[in-house]
Amino acid sequence: MKKLLIFVVALFAIAACSKKNEMKEGPWLGVLQIDPADRSMDVNFNMNYSLNEQGNPQFIITNADEKIVVDEITKNGDTLLIRLPVFTSEIVAVFQNDSLIGKYFPKGKSAGNYYKFFALAGITDRFPNNTNKSDFNVTGRWKIIENGGTPDSTIMVGEFKQDGDRVIGTFLNTTGDYRYLEGKVSGNKFLLSAVDGSHTFIITADLTNENTMENGRFMGSPKWVSTWRAERNDKIELPTNEELVWVKKGMSTFDFAGIDMNGQKVTSKDERFQGKVLAVLAGGSWCPNCLDEARLFSELYSKYKDKGFEVVALNFEDKTYETSKIKMERFIKQTGANYTFLYVSPRGGAKRDSVLYPIEGKMAFPTGMFIDKLGHIRKVETGFSGPGTGEHYTKFVDETTKLIELLLSEK
């Protein structure tokens, strides 16, 4: 902790004294200060600065196997405006050759709220203040008990791979997964983090032995904080999708309506959807699991659209179409999504439940329906486990592909 405070003081000293105008290419360590009162929960992340083939500046943020190319960078003197892709998060920082100091706006500058941000060139270690050799290896499957003993207590699954001190993995729950996480085991300290433009995760715990983690702490934002503990458990399973959501008794069809990117009203009764196999995806441009879902369904739509497959995203966004459209267009462009997007409602569980009226159970964002050529709901999915979950994602892709092909084959 003392080392980190010295590190921060040194950065501000550099900012006061240095006026160099060239950033150093190569690795950088970024830090987001989510809770100024508890610096042990700073969110560390790795990035690499370079010039692309066109000579323009770019950062590449890495979280485990994920590489996020950040190339929307505007320079004004020694100040940088950095827009992270897909979502609305932005960084405004002053650079002095080997340091950056500024603010991270998780919902963009216009929203106002920010975390302090700083970065230093030349550091590759994600947690440079934790340098002890690991006492334990966490590779395997873990039962995570979040907020144990409280009304908010939930069970999650942790899946981790450790190589030396480095750890990658994710947390899975009934709403999906925490995407790509990266960190280390230092002595008996377990540390993971991620920054992807939507998520800002810091996850810590103490390993009391090879099979137990205690004193777990999780922070995703000042309001998204929890405690946790974990037990190694190779057989732990989450509830199946069928146990979470289902079609209400007596219902078999679904009607929807929304406004497309051209400002036109679109409904399920439109000619283009008649006699087609339809995937309806309820989510939003703010949703990180929806990002992974959009990339997958773009591939599936390209593969099967000429055979009668349609995809419609029902987006729950801001209070107005006008402000929502800007965010949706950015999401569409940067994910490469090539199917129909509709603004249907402001965000909120009650709004979602009203729009998705045939479904009941524990719905999350995203939630999807597969509808056959006759307009009947054949399957409901809630949550989404993306490519950061490895074999879970592979299994989902395989099952979804087979379902689409089955529905397309029906007369």
| 342-351 pLDDT, tens digit each | 999 999 889 9
Per-residue pLDDT, 410: 96
Same domain, 158 and 210: yes
User: Mean pLDDT over residues 18-41, rounded?
Assistant: 86
Beta-bridge partner residues of 247 = 359
Task: Using alpha carbons, list the distances in angstroms from residue 111 to 58, 105, 106, 343.
Answer: 24, 8, 8, 21
Nearest to 277 by CA among 355, 367, 369: 369
Same domain, 227 and 256: no
Same domain, 248 and 215: no
**Please, what is the end-to-end C-alpha distance for the chain in angstroms?**
66
If one counts every other C-beta atom within 10 angstroms of the C-beta of residue 127, the result is 19
Res. 16 pLDDT band, cuts 50 70 90: very low
In a domain, residue 405? The reply is yes
- CATH number, position 216: 2.40.128.120
Whether 1 has a pLDDT exceeding 50, the answer reads no
Same domain, 117 and 151: no
Same domain, 282 and 155: no
- CATH number, position 98: 2.40.128
pTM metric for this prediction: 0.91
In a domain, residue 403? The reply is yes
- Mind listing the pLDDT tens digit for each residue in 288-330? 999 999 999 999 999 999 999 999 999 999 999 999 999 999 9
Domain boundary among the residues 212, 232, 252 is at 232
- CATH number, position 306: 3.40.30.10
- Note the Cα 75 to chain centre separation in Å: 27
Per-residue pLDDT, 19: 43
In a domain, residue 337? The reply is yes
Per-residue pLDDT, 15: 44
In a domain, residue 127? The reply is no
Whether 6 has a pLDDT exceeding 80, the answer reads no
If one counts every other C-beta atom within 10 angstroms of the C-beta of residue 295, the result is 14
Same domain, 107 and 211: no
- Mind listing the pLDDT tens digit for each residue in 183-236? 999 999 999 999 999 999 999 999 999 999 999 999 999 999 999 999 999 999
Same domain, 304 and 371: yes
In a domain, residue 129? The reply is no
> Which residue segment(s) compose the domain that 187 sits in?
140-232
User: Mean pLDDT over residues 69-90, rounded?
Assistant: 95
Domains in the chain, number: 3
Same domain, 249 and 213: no
Res. 5 pLDDT band, cuts 50 70 90: very low
pLDDT averaged over every residue in the chain:
93
Same domain, 111 and 150: no
Q: CA-CA distance, 132 to 208, in Å (whole number)?
A: 16
Q: Quick check: 30 and 47 in contact, CB under 8 A? A: yes
Same domain, 250 and 219: no
Nearest to 205 by CA among 190, 194, 220: 190
Whether 270 has a pLDDT exceeding 50, the answer reads yes
User: Mean pLDDT over residues 254-261, rounded?
Assistant: 97
Per-residue pLDDT, 411: 85
In a domain, residue 131? The reply is no
User: Mean pLDDT over residues 97-107, rounded?
Assistant: 94
Per-residue pLDDT, 127: 98
As a whole-number percent, the residues of the chain with pLDDT over 90 amount to 91
Domain boundary among the residues 121, 155, 176 is at 121
Same domain, 101 and 49: yes
Task: Using alpha carbons, list the distances in angstroms from residue 12 to 81, 100, 169.
Answer: 19, 9, 34
Whether 22 has a pLDDT exceeding 90, the answer reads no
- Which residue intervals of 210-287 are DSSP H helices? 241-244
In a domain, residue 32? The reply is yes
What angle do helix axes 288-304 and 391-409 make, rounded to 10 degrees?
Answer: 40
- Mind listing the pLDDT tens digit for each residue in 353-408? 999 999 999 999 999 999 999 999 999 999 999 999 999 999 999 999 999 999 99
Q: Quick check: 198 and 286 in contact, CB under 8 A? A: yes
- Note the Cα 154 to chain centre separation in Å: 20
Domain boundary among the residues 195, 215, 232 is at 232
- Mind listing the pLDDT tens digit for each residue in 136-146? 999 999 999 99
Sign (positive or negative) of CA dihedral 331, 334, 337, 340: positive
In a domain, residue 134? The reply is no
Res. 21 pLDDT band, cuts 50 70 90: low
Same domain, 213 and 319: no
